[in-house]
Amino acid sequence: MNIRKALVTGGAGFIGTTLVERLLSEGVEVVVLDNFSSATTAPEALARGHPAADRMKLVKGDCTISNDIEASLDGVDTVFHLAANPEVRLDLSNEETCVQQNVIATFKMLEAFKRSGATTFVFTSSSTVYGEPSLIPTPEDYGPLIPISVYGASKLASEALISAYSKNTGKRGVIFRLANIVGERSRHGVVPDFIRKLTRDSSVLEVLGDGSQTKSYLHVDDCVSGILMGTLQAKSQVSIFNVGAMDFIPVSRIATIVATLMGLPQPKMRFTGGVDNGRGWVGDVKTMLLDVSNLVALGWRPTLTSEESVRLAVSRSLEQARRYKIPFASPEVKAKEGS
């Protein structure tokens, strides 16, 4: 691996922790910049969680604060900018927070990157930049890009900034448009949402929308492999890659998978009906499948299908919960814990 020292913003988050672990295992020196406001791993756990943790430096700071960024860039050659507001739904966030944590943070990062000795800026964007494409699977050169959520708009604005800064500085920008990423460390999205709901009431499961939303789901391990493959092999000054599974599944199928793996009788599904022709929320894209052939051409390929990714994420989430004695609604778990 030709990365010697990397800065990972959001390195204590869901995808970030997996990326940090992979970089350390490849012999890379890693700096983690995170404010730990939505981290999935506590600083002390992150520091002791890998045998090569002595090659990791933790900086508790914010990507909107220039001094924090500057303190993290010394000697870094590659920046992985993963820190962001993860909420797609505006009812769980707001426009100003989304713009501050996504667009302004990316601008601040790029300003510091421009002045630093780092040569590559890697950014995790989102499939939401496509809005509702008429072409499925959707390739990277699809256009026009018309996001239908503020989250998608903020990611697209960040992409534009990265393109401009790369062209103006002569440095490299690598952008990854991610499908829905799942894994046991995730605290957002349909899998943890369904687990939480079935924990509270195993007889009825509320499903946002009409249940027909159909999307691609990729396990975080495959996601990180794709990010590293694209980063190392990208040839253009600005490269854009889709990262996702090569198939998709409806949300109603995910509900069945979660209930089954929790050892529950099939719950009654209560669909909210959603908004605007069955969307789960305003700005929800109903159908998403990315064309990942450009990344596949470099040698990457997802090892799991969408359903296999969901199953692995659910299984590991339940295993993790049982290990740390987090009670779930599963009858065998209740019996085991005497509840």
Interval 256-267: pLDDT, tens: 999 999 999 888
Task: Specify the pLDDT at position 48.
Answer: 67
For residues 290-309, average pLDDT: 98
Angle at 338 between CA 335 and CA 339, to 5 degrees: 90
**137: preceding bond cis by omega (within 30 degrees):** yes
Q: What pTM was computed for the model?
A: 0.92
pLDDT tens for each residue of 69-93: 999 999 999 999 999 987 777 656 6
Q: What is the mean pLDDT of the chain?
A: 90
DSSP 297-314: TTT---SS-HHHHHHHHH
pLDDT tens for each residue of 168-220: 999 999 999 999 999 999 988 899 999 999 999 999 999 999 989 999 999 99
The domains of the chain, with CATH numbers, are: 5-183+217-243 (3.40.50.720), 190-214+247-287+304-328 (3.90.25.10)
> What residues contact 317, with CB distance under 8 A and at least 6 apart?
184, 191, 192, 195
Task: Specify the pLDDT at position 38.
Answer: 72
CA atoms within 13 A on the CB side of 245: 23
Angle at 253 between CA 249 and CA 254, to 5 degrees: 85
Answer positive or negative: Cα dihedral of 172, 125, 241, 218: positive
Question: Tokens representing 213?
Answer: 């939303």
pLDDT tens for each residue of 219-272: 999 999 999 999 999 999 999 999 999 999 999 999 999 999 999 988 899 998
Per the CB < 8 A criterion, the answer to whether 80 and 6 are in contact is yes
User: What backbone phi and psi angles, to 5 degrees, belong to 163?
Assistant: -60, -45
